[in-house]
A and B are shown apart, each in its own frame.
Chain A
Amino acid sequence: MSNEIIEGILEGLRLIFTFDSEVWGVIEVSFRVSLTSTFLAALVALPIGSFIGLRTFKGKKEVTNLINTFMGFPPVVMGLVVYLLLSRTGPFGALGLLYSTSAMIIAQFLLAVPIIMGTAKAAIESVDPILKETVLSLGANERQLWWELIKHSKKSIIAGFLVAFGQAISEVGAVMIVGGNIRWETRTFTTSIVLQTRMGEFGMAIALGVILITIAFIVNYGLTRLQTRVD
């Protein structure tokens, strides 16, 4: 067994440094899907989340509870939901999106939206209320106040993006269900690792694992840098 591990590691390193086309194909799919889903989620969730944080309204508590619940939504269940929606007999079956990267983007998008929304809302709410009042009393309208608060809490907001991206790229359940793990098409780091491990192809699994951990490290490094940076 220990022999297998050493062999696997060596094989993994060989695959990385020889730029194995399948490994790089998997990387390409993973990044394309996760970056797109995070970007689209940010586009939708940042305005909505920050707006919820800005205003006080009736039912805000309930909305907050809902967002928080969805922030911890089990990815595999999200996979199931998106599968049911996109399957041939489902309401969006006619679009023929199942087992495509689009389906994976949709699933990851739905997982990322509450994360970015929740962090943006919390970031806006945590701005010193005196700063809010100062900006208002200087004559800012709501849009100007909103922009000021976004600028002020950009660190936390970017941290939210990074968390959402990190979660998207390391997620396995949802992309497996809706993407189908099709070689060269919808196979990602995670689904590939699952498959190769099952097949005993540890070299490929380890190579991908190393890259995934490296990405996780870079994301975390970025997060820490953000949180400790002094302006």
Chain B
Amino acid sequence: MGSLDYKQGLIKMKLLEVRNLSKVFYKRDKSETEVLSNVNFLVEQGECFVIIGPNGSGKTTLLRIIGLLEAPTLGQIFYNKKDLIKISRKQKVEFRRKFSFVRQKPVVRNTTVFNNIAYGPKVRGLKYDEYQERVNEIIDFIGLKGMEKKNARSLSGGEMQRVAIAMNFVVNPEIYLLDEVSANLDSMNIKLLDDFIMKIKQDKDKTIIMSTHDPLEAIKYADRIAVLKNGQITQVGTPSEIFSSPKDEFTAMFVGYENILHGIAEIDKNTGLNQIRINDIIITASSQLEGKVKVCIRPESIGIVKEPPKNTSYRNTFKGHIENIHDLGNICHLIVRCGSEKFLVTITELSKHNLNLKIGSEVFINFKATDVKIL
């Protein structure tokens, strides 16, 4: 019940708090590298919290510290108000069992697929009869049926990653820590991974903290995003907040601007195209997804005109008015409201001048169905 209320925004359960976390690595020559510096954030129960940042920004170290695999130099981590840094070795084992950690490069034990996946239940003291059914179910789910007795080390990279995810999934953890899990995977394995993450997300009690350097992946899964730059969190917010109003140049450069809308997609039987209903507007896209989706349109893909366009190949045209204008040198950002939705549009200063665009101007925006990304 509580989790349902949370999803409606009534109750927010603080599950994990990272406070003033810093990590310094000392090298042999006594030089220091500060990998994380004064990191603070909250993670709520049931949410998918995505840490986005370029390589070397400290994502893996941050996840390893949360997973109690590494001690921070400074700072605290609270899990349900309990400080995890100060607890005993024995208690750490107990808390690690609430977490699971899937890393970018999977490592499996030198034994069969079955034994690898059964390891988590086994170390928790379960008997063979108690876990074998669930293990086999999961082997089936990851599409490795018939390979139970194969040595996991002889599998391909993608298969190994699936085993690694299954190893963590089988123990039913409270928090999933996923460290760039989709990197290096082919499209088939990405699809499987996606099924997994979506399955976890459906369970409203489960919390995901994942890291990625891929903005689209962040938009797809995140309830909230934290941007990590050189070991510091520069911004935390919903995908829409991050992608429509990045706080600094780095975030803008790294994540890029993106219009993110939430809607319900269905396939139009006549055209075969996707129709996505977003409150009172309908966007046409070329994807084949149905149901609840996120719609992404890059601001530079959106055209702007003053008169209703005729004979255009653009499938999406909406009437609106300019709510705000941000000048950024020779380009500018327009905020255009069309019905219930706001669009960020990037145009050149010259176009703005030529079209004589001002706050309050009535305009038409248009974009191609193929420029709409559906996640």
Contact = CB atoms under 8 A, between A and B. Distances in A.
Given A134-B109, A141-B123, 11 more contacts: A130-B103, A130-B107, A133-B69, A135-B109, A137-B99, A137-B101, A138-B167, A138-B171, A139-B93, A141-B90, A141-B93
A128 B100 CA distance: 19
A131 B167 CA distance: 13
Contacts of B107: 128, 130-131, 134
A40 B4 CA distance: 62
Interface in B104-136: 105, 107-110, 119-120, 123-124
A141 B95 CA distance: 11
B101 A139 contact: no
Interface in A25-58: none
B96 to A, nearest CB: 6
Interchain residue pairs A-B with the least CB separation, the first 10:
A137-B101, A139-B97, A141-B93, A138-B120, A140-B123, A134-B107, A130-B107, A133-B69, A144-B123, A139-B123
A33 B90 CA distance: 41
A148 interface: yes
B67 interface: yes
B59 to A, nearest CB: 15
Interface in B18-56: none
A136, A138, A152, A231 interface centre (most CB from chain B within 10 Å): A138
Nearest to A128: B107
A133 B64 CA distance: 9
A121 to B, nearest CB: 20
Nearest to A141: B93
B103 A136 contact: no
B109 A137 contact: no
A4 interface: no
B69 A138 contact: no
B153 to A, nearest CB: 8
B26 to A, nearest CB: 14
Contacts of B207: none
B69 A148 contact: no
Given A142-B93, A152-B110, A137 B100 contact: yes
Contacts of A152: 109-110
A135 B168 CA distance: 11
B353 to A, nearest CB: 57
A163 to B, nearest CB: 23
Interface residues of A, number: 17
Given A128-B107, A130-B105, A133-B101, A138 B93 contact: no
A131 B69 CA distance: 12
B81 interface: no
Nearest to A147: B123
Contact of A137 (B69, B105, B108): B69
Given A131-B109, A148-B109, A137 B123 contact: no
11 contacts: A133-B101, A134-B101, A134-B103, A134-B107, A136-B69, A137-B96, A138-B119, A138-B123, A138-B167, A140-B93, A142-B93
Interface in A146-160: 148, 152
Nearest to A148: B109
A128 B108 CA distance: 11
A138 B93 CA distance: 10
Interface string B68-90: 01000000000000000000011
A128 B107 CA distance: 9
B64 A136 contact: no
A152 B168 CA distance: 20
B61 to A, nearest CB: 12
A130 B100 CA distance: 14
A152 B110 CA distance: 8
Contacts of A138: 100, 119-120, 123, 167-168, 171
Contacts of A130: 103, 105, 107
Contacts of B100: 137-138
Contacts of A133: 64, 69, 101
Nearest to A137: B101
B166 to A, nearest CB: 11
A131 B123 CA distance: 15
A58 B123 CA distance: 29
A137 B124 CA distance: 12
A139 B93 CA distance: 6
Contacts of A144: 123
Contacts of B89: 142
Nearest to A142: B89
Interface in A199-221: none
A230 to B, nearest CB: 11
Contacts of A135: 109, 119
Given A128-B107, A130-B103, A131-B107, A137 B171 contact: no
Nearest to B69: A133
Contacts of B103: 130, 134
B49 to A, nearest CB: 18
A172 B100 CA distance: 55
B120 A139 contact: yes
Interface string B163-183: 010011001000000000000
Contacts of A137: 67, 69, 96, 99-101, 168
B103, B105, B151 interface centre (most CB from chain A within 10 Å): B103
